[in-house]
């Protein structure tokens, strides 16, 4: 069935969506999130970006990629704050989703059902190779999922694991190249 441009535009305005960008550390998740959010801003859509308040690695209030690209964001303590602060916008971006509470999938669904385009980026697995935080549920309910890959620093193959170099058993350890490196499955298992 063919739709006129006007009908297509109205249908697009009414329907929200959930897009998930996932992968290992150093795979370009945040870079892709920033790219999509900037395109939404160019399209003159109202955009709000959120990150966990605990993520202060690069900047207190900006989402910053490993390539030093950044976009202003609002640090929040819980996913319920996203629902309150992101209610009157057309696009919501969420970085480091794995660090949010278990309510994040519900918050994203509520926003999408209200017609908001929700773009979420986060680690799909923790340093042990296990599903991380609310990411598995978000991936299951998303309209689209893109899994980006890094390059294994050991062999050069595509990497989907975040191998922890730093000692410790805590699932959450904020760090950079001094604490983590991307590895393919074989090199990840070899290090275990």
Q: How many CA atoms lie within 13 A of 122 on its CB side?
A: 31
85, 72, 172, 25: CA torsion to nearest 10: 130
- In which region does residue 141 sit, left (phi positive, over 0), alpha (psi from -120 to 50) or beta (all else)? alpha
Contacts of 40 (CB under 8 A, 6+ apart): 47, 90, 91, 117
The CA distances from residue 132 to 6, 27, 100, 108, 129, in Å, are 41, 16, 10, 17, 9
Report the pLDDT value the prediction gives residue 48, as an integer from 0 to 100: 92
Report the pLDDT value the prediction gives residue 109, as an integer from 0 to 100: 97
Domains and CATH numbers, the chain: 5-148 (3.40.50.300)
Residues labelled catalytic: 96
**21-69 residue pLDDT tens:** 999 999 999 999 999 999 999 999 999 999 888 765 655 665 655 565 6
Eight-state DSSP code of residue 183: E
For 16, counting Cβ atoms within 10 Å of its Cβ (0-12 exposed, 13-18 middle, 19+ buried), the class is buried
Report the pLDDT value the prediction gives residue 54, as an integer from 0 to 100: 78
Which residue bears the tokens 């299951």? 140
Report the pLDDT value the prediction gives residue 191, as an integer from 0 to 100: 86
Spans of the chain, pLDDT less than 50? 1-12
Query: And the tokens for 105?
Result: 């999938």
């Amino acid at each position: 069935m063919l739709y006129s441009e006007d009908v297509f535009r109205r249908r697009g305005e009414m329907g929200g969506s959930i897009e998930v960008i996932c992968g290992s550390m150093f795979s370009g998740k945040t870079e892709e999130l920033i790219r999509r959010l900037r395109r939404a801003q160019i399209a003159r859509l109202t955009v709000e970006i959120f990150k966990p308040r605990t993520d202060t690695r690069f900047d207190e209030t900006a989402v910053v990629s490993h390539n030093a690209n950044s976009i202003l964001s609002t640090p929040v303590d819980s996913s319920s704050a996203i629902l309150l602060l992101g209610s009157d916008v057309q696009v919501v971006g969420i970085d480091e989703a794995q660090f949010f509470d278990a309510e994040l999938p519900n918050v994203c669904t509520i926003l999408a059902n209200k017609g908001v385009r929700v773009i979420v980026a986060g680690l799909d697995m923790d340093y042990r190779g296990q599903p991380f935080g609310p990411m598995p549920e978000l991936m299951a309910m998303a309209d689209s999922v893109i899994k980006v890959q890094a390059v294994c620093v050991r062999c050069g193959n595509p990497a989907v694991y975040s191998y922890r170099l730093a000692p410790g058993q805590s699932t959450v350890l904020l760090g950079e190249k001094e604490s983590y490196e991307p590895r393919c499955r074989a090199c990840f298992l070899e290090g275990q």
